Structure 1
Amino acid sequence: MRQQIKVEVAVGSLVLCGVLALVFMALKVSGLTLDTARQDFQVEAYFGDIGGLKPRSKVTLAGVAVGRVVSIDLDEQWFEARVVLALDARLRDLLSEDTAAAIQTAGLLGDNYISLTPGVEEARLQPGGVIRDTQSALILEQLINQFISGSLGD
């Protein structure tokens, strides 16, 4: 009887560890976090085409995640995508006003994310500021269409 209880406790512990691992993996994949004390500041960037960029997509600097996309909406005056980024507070005094933002793809068909490239100006990017140097997403379907129409036109 005691041996059966030990086996049941061991199996129950193993199942509990498996469930916790699945929850952890789901949070990592979705980009959600349980860290509510994180300090950040928000800036805006405008793109002609955001491709598959979504809210909560990561923002990187030199390949290191330094923020997230907060929201995406349409600028009705210029018909561009307005993307609000939440960046880590330690970047507040490091990024210059001429910082560039480009939408990249992780792998050939992976998720889109924003990659930042620091500039060289002395003036710093302030909370609520705008990143003006942006590069839109590279759309695979458009490239294929250009290749097909270019090669068929010859």
Structure 2
Amino acid sequence: MATEAAARAFFSASHFAVVGASSDPSKFGHKIFAWYIAHSLPAIPINPSAPSITFSGKGYATLKDLSALPSPRTTSISIITPPKVTKLVLAEAKKLGVKSVWLQPGTFDDEILEGALRDFEAAVGGDGGRGGEGWCVLVDGEKAARGAGKL
């Protein structure tokens, strides 16, 4: 599946989760989670070391891992973790029946990206997109979500 089509398919899910969500506004896990909230998309923050994260003064309860998701088969997963962690997250997502993943720049190596492209119905990541770093929800998400009828 071409990456643009995969990005639209990613946003066709009814739920979203952000693995690596953070309360720290300087971190991409915070920026990505904030993007979902700002676009009124239902996002669940995943963070094993914090019971909640804060965005714009509001607290959001976190889940420790993907296995706690209420409906993993209808949840697309944005991943903002180091490659070693990403590999584990993808294995868990595959086991749970997650259909779509978005690998933010810096979260994968060639092997991880190849595995995601092979193991999921829709996997977004790698070279391309409208930014210089590769496919990113912050840069490419709005167009893809609009294409999926979410915005």
TM (norm. structure 2) is: 0.20
Structure (1/2) with the larger helix percentage: 2
Give the number of the structure whose alpha-carbon radius of gyration is greater: 1
